[in-house]
Amino acid sequence: MIEKILLIGVGDVGKHILEFAAREDRQFEWVVGDIDEKRAQWTCNNAEIGAAHHGKHPKFRPIKIDLFDIEKTNKIWGIFVNCTITSILFSIIQWW
């Protein structure tokens, strides 16, 4: 069974994390969540292209996730019970 990793937030830092992690030798399914689903898809596509240049073929699943919408977020957590959460990056952190 392929281990799942949930990456939340594909801003500047999240994008770089995914780019580097996608080139690892271990096979993971990357569940990539962001409030902007199109940005999550775009980031996954770029990471997949970069990984392919290195002979890697990771699996990506972009999803929309809004951590301020508690009800939907709880449903998402229920889906990923056996998932490793690697990074939670909020754009709010930039305001500090």
Note whether 28 and 80 are within 8 A (CB): no
Q: How far apart are CA 32 and CA 39, in angstroms?
A: 10
Going by pLDDT thresholds of 50, 70 and 90, the confidence category of residue 83 is low
Say what the pLDDT of residue 53 is. Answer: 94
In this prediction, residue 77 carries a pLDDT of 66
- For the chain, the helix, strand and coil percentages under 3-state DSSP, each to the nearest 5: 45, 25, 30
Kindly tell me if the per-residue pLDDT of 96 is higher than 70. no
Question: Would you kindly state where each structural domain of the chain is located, as residue ranges?
Answer: 3-95
Question: If pLDDT is split at 50, 70 and 90, which confidence band does 92 have?
Answer: very low
Query: For position 85, what pLDDT does the model report?
Result: 54
pTM summary value: 0.75
- Confidence (pLDDT) at 52: 94
Cα gap 49→22, rounded to integer Å: 10
Q: What is 3-95's CATH superfamily?
A: NAD(P)-binding Rossmann-like Domain (3.40.50.720)
Model pLDDT for residues 16-68, shown as the tens digit of each residue: 889 988 898 888 888 899 999 999 999 999 999 999 999 999 999 999 988 88
